[in-house]
Amino acid sequence: MVSAGAARHKALFRRAASGLLKVFRLRAPKGRDKKIRLRLQMPDLDALLGAWLNEVVYLVSSGKIVPQKFVIEEIGLNKNGARLCASITGFKPGRGLKMREIKAVALHGLQIKKRGGRLQVSFITDI
């Protein structure tokens, strides 16, 4: 189980993704620098967090990028739901990428909770 907490949504999403990377136990030879920009739209913030984390799982598992920095540029709610604009910087791994396989982040029970003025989330990865 991975847990993250923060005062604001941007920091929570960044910390949750960083916690997810620890589950991968990545060992990767350095490759060329890479930056990926993401735009996601979901019905609510809980679903948006699940989509964000599963996108990170896909990007790492497919060897597209080994993230080193997450920047949440925009996160918010509008009449169409919750949206996220973010960039991930890291590197495209060379040969020899070693990691624990993660199939997905479980969406069941994934809920952002407010405790003591802070946002908290815990989630399970399907290994």
CATH number of the domain enclosing 103 = 3.55.10.10
Instruction: Grade residue 35 by pLDDT with cuts at 50, 70 and 90.
Output: very high
3-state secondary structure of 103: coil
Domain interval for residue 119? 2-126
> Residue 6's pLDDT is what?
97
| Rounded average pLDDT over 63-67 | 91
Per-residue pLDDT, averaged over 77-104, amounts to 90
CA pseudo-torsion sign 124, 63, 59, 29: positive
Beta bridge partners of 76: 83
How many domains is the chain built from? 1
Nearest to 97 by CA among 25, 35, 33, 37: 25
Residues 6+ apart with CB under 8 A from 7: 117, 118, 119
Question: With bands split at pLDDT 50, 70 and 90, how would you rate the model's confidence at 92?
Answer: confident
Beta carbons within 8 Å of 48's beta carbon, 6+ residues apart: 40, 41, 42, 75, 81, 82, 83, 84
